[in-house]
Structures are given as structure tokens and as C-alpha cells.
Amino acid sequence: MVQKPLQNKATNPRIMVVMNPILALSIITTILFFSPMAYSESKVVKSALVRFMDNLAPWNNNSEREAPRYWGWNLDTDPCADNWKGVSCSSDGSVKAIVLDDSNLSGTLDATSLCMAKSLQILSLKRNNLQGSVPEAIGNCKYLTRLFLSDNNFSGDLPISLQHLCSLRWLHVARNNFTGPISDKIPASVLISFLGENNKFTGEVPDFDFTKLIQFNVSNNNLKGQIPDVRNKFGVESFFGNPDLCGSPLPAACPPSPSPRKEKRLFITDGVAIYSGYIILGITVVAFFVYKLVRKSMNKVEASKALNKKECPRHRLTRKDPAGGNNGEKSREDSSESKGRGSVEMRSEPSIASLESGITLSTSTLVVLSSRVSKALRFEDLLRAPAELIGRGMHGSLYKVMLDNGVFLAVKRIKDWGISESDFQRRIGKVSQVNHPFVLPPLAYYCSRQEKLLAYEYMDHGSLFNMLYKVGSQNGKPFEWGSRLNIAAKIAETLAYMHEELRESGIAHGNLKSSNILFNNNMEPLISEYGLMVIEHQALRSLSHSKSVRNRVLTAAHAYSTFKVDVYAFGVILLELLTGKVVQNQGVFDFVKWVNSVVREEWSVEVFDKNLVSEGASGERMMNLLQVALKCINPSPADRPSMSEVALAIVALKEEEERSLT
Ligand SMILES: Nc1ncnc2c1ncn2[C@@H]1O[C@H](COP(=O)(O)OP(=O)(O)OP(=O)(O)O)[C@@H](O)[C@H]1O
């Protein structure tokens, strides 16, 4: 079994709290002080962010339960350490991304407050009901790489200050009521994705560098004039619905225009013939007297124009990136501005490619299993997308990765795992076909001899492990007995289904633990990494060609059936729910030993989480659940119950609990 080992009792702060409050307090203080999250955003930034949230007016359309005080955005907490809804942070504790899509927001965008968070790289407010214009102050969010404002009610012109955002790669403003020209408002030379369809934009199609763009749409606006050369990259659908636009790829050809050069030459020729004497005299006199004055003032105007315009240097996109590739969109070098005027410092967006060693880029496509991930997503795109290292487990590293469409993925790079490509594909294929509401399905994977990557949806609400150990609460509320029982029942029923109801296709989890129990938006448990690490008879058979070794292994495998391994692991999860303590690293056996010894001494009550006791949870039902857990962790696999027996017992307890409340 690949159960994650147990936390040593002596080093578990929660256990220490019970044993010695002063020592525990000093340990916790030390942990907080030295943890990365100690470097959190300043008070000024926090209050600016709270103001930004106030202006989004989330309470207008959200129920009391959904209102933002439940989203964690308040001055008493930290955006990073306390997981404010939608906020992601860098490892130094600064706010890096704010994603509040589909959040029923109806207010305005307070960019002055927002851009106090100086490290902000991603702002995504898609599919809300936000009003008003996008303020010029957005230009103060200097490191923005992605600005997603589509599907709102924004109006007015795009702010001129957007052209100061020299890192901006993705600008999505589709389906709003924006007006005015686009062309002089955006850093067109650095964008790789512009979606501005279904607005009221006027003027000409902006002068983008179409060789760089991977997404572009300005359909259904009021643009006019000739479409520039789009290098055959974008079709009619990117331009239709603009009655005064013409030229390829639209069917409407542009009317021939008189050559401006010819006209000019005619004018000059005629003028010279008629007025040459006067012109020469006038020019000479005026030039003589005004020359120095004009030159001086021209210099000033030019200088201030250049300063205001702060054009983004084009060359940045074509230079090699740090990962060694030549994909300009992710490369970050010091701009000429940062060298010359010291005003813009380019920052690199970490990616799996830049954070992992020994990874070879390739343009192969991924195997995509869900429409949430684009079928065209390449292995290389995934490796170069902005990513944050979440943890390194026994089987590899896990990254939070943001895709171009704003979807966050949890991408696991599986390391040093002796499993063939066909085995890996078969396991994932099996789980992805199950479609159970409480099993987190894989969304995409990559599998070659050297590399195995697996992508799941990133779950914002964390894991059961976090809830018990780090947070100690459920969405800011105490983690009550009723919720714990509910979670236990759902996991048990899901495992019973996966083990038994699929009959001969039944699948064991193989690495069940509280960090693999994640929560969706309704705080329902989702079992992650299902079936990935399971030890199969099939796999064991291929371990050795020697008959005696094979028989020995198979006998052992039979005795320690993988289903019974899951039952044991589930028992440990039940104990974590009951005790409020979690198992880390090499601690499983110590933890189980401790529980057994307390129970043997007939001090069972001492085992239970003090919070459950003070909440007044039913002692009888806690004891009954403890009995179920002890059966699950029976040292003899054959004597452990099946998951359906376990599920029946827990569901009965849950129903009893519900009846007691009515
Ligand atoms: N889809 C996800 N969304 C959000 N967080 C996740 C997701 N998958 C895993 N995590 C969290 O990321 C952290 C690291 O996960 P990872 O699976 O690498 O570690 P582990 O489960 O401790 O170790 P291993 O699975 O390698 O034995 C864990 O805290 C886990 O809860």
C-alpha cells in the first residue's frame, strides 16, 4: 500500500495543543513566523483590496450565505494565508491573480484600489454584471499579463493607459458595450490574444502583429476600412458584423482609393510652377527666424509624447525565453524602458518548464478527456503556462497551472514510477469512464517514456487534510460533527460504488488519504487521484518471470487485496475526522498505535477532537463511528469489512444524527 506515512505525535502541533499549550503556542508562532506566508500583503494593500471588493458590490446579487464575508475578503485576514476567494499568491505571499468569474458581481471596477496590489498579473472578472468604464488607473497594474473582462456591461472607451501595460498578453473584453477606437488604446505589439467581439468599437482594425496573435476577434462592432494582412490566420468569423469593414478575409472588396502620392506630386508640381518664387522666399525668411525656437519646442513635445506613450518594445517577443525555447509570448527581458528610464521592471511568470529540472519540451498534443481543456493544447503549452508549485508528494510534484482560457488545472508530474505507458493510459481511461459525482475525473494527460503528466481541475476549496490541519474550519465556520459525518458517508458510499458496484471492473484507489479528498464549491468531497497508484495483480504479474517469485508476490497481493488497503486507509481518514488530528509523512503507524492504546485503556473519549466534544456532538454516535474506524484498521486485511458494509454503517449513523436534529 502506498498510504502516506503518519505524522509523529510529538511533532504534530494539534496534538501538542492538547499536551502543552505554552509549548504548542511557541511552536505555532515559530511556524507562522518562518512560513512563507509570513511575508503577506501589507495593511494598505489589504484595505485597498477590500475596497476593490466593496466596489464590485457582491452583496447585491448574492445570497447572505454567498456574500463576501464568507469569501474571506476582510481586514482581519490575509489574502494569501487565509485563502480569500479567487485570490492566488506567489510563494512570497504577494497577490498574483484575482479570478472572480461567474460571481454575480454588479458594481464597478475600482482600479485605483486594485492596482495597489503591485504584483498582480492576472485579473479575471468574466461573466458578471459589472458596469461603468474601465478606469485609467488600470495602467498602474504594471505586471498584468492577462485581463479578462468579457461578458459584463462595461461601457465607454478602453483606457489609454492600457498601452502602458507592456506585459499584457491576453486582453479579453468581448460582449460588453465598449465604444470608441481600439487601435491607439492597447499595446498591440505584445498581445497574443485579443477578444473584443460584440461591442460598439469604431475606427479601424488595430495594427496588431498578426504573426504573434493566437486568438483574435473583433466581430460585431462598428469598425470600418480595410482589414490589415492577417497572414491567413483568422477567418471571416473574426471580422463579420462590421458593415463598413472590407477586404480579405471578408467577401466585400475595398473600393479602389486614389493614390495619395500621385495627388501630392500633382499638387507640388502645379504649385511649384505657379508660386515658386513666393514659396522659396517665404520659406527662407520664416525658416531663418523661427528655426531655433521651433526646434527647441519640438524637442520638448517629442520627448513628452514619447514619455506618455511608453510604447512596448516589439523585440521582447522574439527573443529566446529562459526555458530555452523560442516562444516569444512567455519570454521576459528587461525592456529598453527599464534600462533607460527605470520605470518598468519585467517579471518572469514561473511555469512548470522553468520550475522543474530535466523536463524536455515537445510539441506533442495531450490526451484531452474534457471540453474544459482545448483539444489543441500541446504538452509544451502546458509546461510554459503560468504555474505555481503546490507541493511535492511521494509520487511527484503538483502545480497549479492557468490556461489561456482562464481555467486553472492541478497538474501532477509523476516521477520515478515504474509503470508502462500502456498501463498508465489504461488506468486513466478506466477512471475517466466512471463518471461518479464524487470522483474527480482527470481532464487531460501526457504520457511518454520519459514524462507522465496528469491534469485535474484545480479545486479552490482545498483538501480535507488542509481543513483539519491548517485551516481548522470549514469556510470560516467550525468543522462540525454533522459535516464530518456527512463527508465520511459520501466518501464511504463512493468507495463502495467504485469497489463493488462496477463488479469485475471495480477499481481501488490505491493512495487514499485526506490530502486526496478535495472539496467542490458546495463543499462536497471529491476523491482525487483515483486508481492511479493502485497495485494491480496484472502489474505484479509482470514484475518477474520467475515462477516462485511471481507466486509469492501474487499470494501477497491476494492477501493484501487492494480493496482492503483502501478500507484501511479509509479507517485512518475516519480517525482523522474523529480526532481532528492528521497523519503526515511517516506517522500512520504511530497514529493508529496511539488510537489503539487510548481505546485499550478505555479512555476512548480522550481520542475525540475537543471541538466536537465542546460542540456537544453525540458521544454515542462518535463512539459508534470510532468502532467502524477500528474495524477498518484491523491489522488482518481479511477481517476488515467491505466498503459497502462500512458505508451502510455510516449512513445509518448519519440518518440517526439527522433524525435527532428534527
Ligand atoms: N485538483 C487539485 N486541486 C487543488 N489542490 C490539489 C489538487 N490535487 C491535489 N491538491 C493538493 O495539492 C497538494 C499536493 O498534492 P500531491 O498529490 O502532490 O501530494 P500528496 O497527495 O501529498 O502526495 P502523493 O499523491 O504524491 O502521495 C496536496 O495538499 C493536495 O491536497
**What values do phi and psi take at 396, rounded to 5?**
140, -170
- Rounded to whole angstroms, the Cα distance separating 108 from 128 reads 11
- Rounded to whole angstroms, the Cα distance separating 528 from 510 reads 11
127-150 average pLDDT score: 92
pLDDT value, residue 169? 82
Binding site, annotated residues for ATP = 412
Range of lowest pLDDT (5-19, 211-225, 561-575): 5-19
pLDDT value, residue 621? 94
* Amino acid of residue 550: R
CA 446 to chain centre: 19
Q: How many CA atoms lie within 13 A of 469 on its CB side?
A: 17
Range of lowest pLDDT (130-134, 151-155, 315-319, 613-617): 315-319
pLDDT over 90, % of the chain? 30
Range of lowest pLDDT (1-10, 343-352, 561-570, 617-626): 1-10
- Rounded to whole angstroms, the Cα distance separating 36 from 80 reads 10
Q: Which of 83, 88, 388, 398 to mutate to test the pocket of ligand 1 (most atoms within 8 A of CB)?
A: 398
Output the nine-digit C-alpha cell for 81: 494565508
Could you state, in order of their start, the residue ranges of all structural domains in the chain? 366-458, 461-537+552-661
Cβ atoms within 10 Å, residue 199: 25
pLDDT value, residue 138? 93
pLDDT category of residue 628 using cuts at 50, 70 and 90: very high
408-434 average pLDDT score: 85
pLDDT over threshold 50, residue 477: yes
Enumerate the β-bridge partners of residue 402.
Answer: 408
CATH superfamily of 461-537+552-661: Transferase(Phosphotransferase) domain 1 (1.10.510.10)
Q: Report the range out of 12-21, 234-243, 411-420, 563-572 with the highest average pLDDT.
A: 563-572
Of residues 403 and 581, more confidence is placed in 581
CATH superfamily of 366-458: Phosphorylase Kinase; domain 1 (3.30.200.20)
- Reference 409, options 441, 439, 431; nearest CA is 441
Please provide the average confidence, as pLDDT, over all residues in the chain: 76
Non-local (6+) Cβ contacts of 472 within 8 A are 479
pLDDT category of residue 327 using cuts at 50, 70 and 90: very low
Q: Which residues of 140-161 are buried (b: 16+ CB within 10 A; e: fewer)?
A: bbbbbbbbbbbbbebeeebbeb
- Reference 386, options 310, 319, 458, 470; nearest CA is 458
Nearest CA to ligand 1 atom 29: 515
pLDDT value, residue 656? 93
Instruction: Look up residue 178 and give its DSSP letter.
Output: E
Who lines ligand 1 at CB under 6 A? 4, 390-391, 393-396, 398, 410, 412, 456, 458-459, 463, 465, 511, 515-516, 518, 528-529
DSSP assignment of 183-218:
TTTS-TTT-SEEE--SSEEEEPPP---TTT-SEEE-
pLDDT category of residue 2 using cuts at 50, 70 and 90: very low
Cβ atoms within 10 Å, residue 302: 10
pLDDT over threshold 80, residue 418: no
Of residues 310 and 125, more confidence is placed in 125
Q: Which of 468, 471, 515, 521 to mutate to test the pocket of ligand 1 (most atoms within 8 A of CB)?
A: 515
336-365 average pLDDT score: 54
Non-local (6+) Cβ contacts of 83 within 8 A are 72, 460, 462, 471
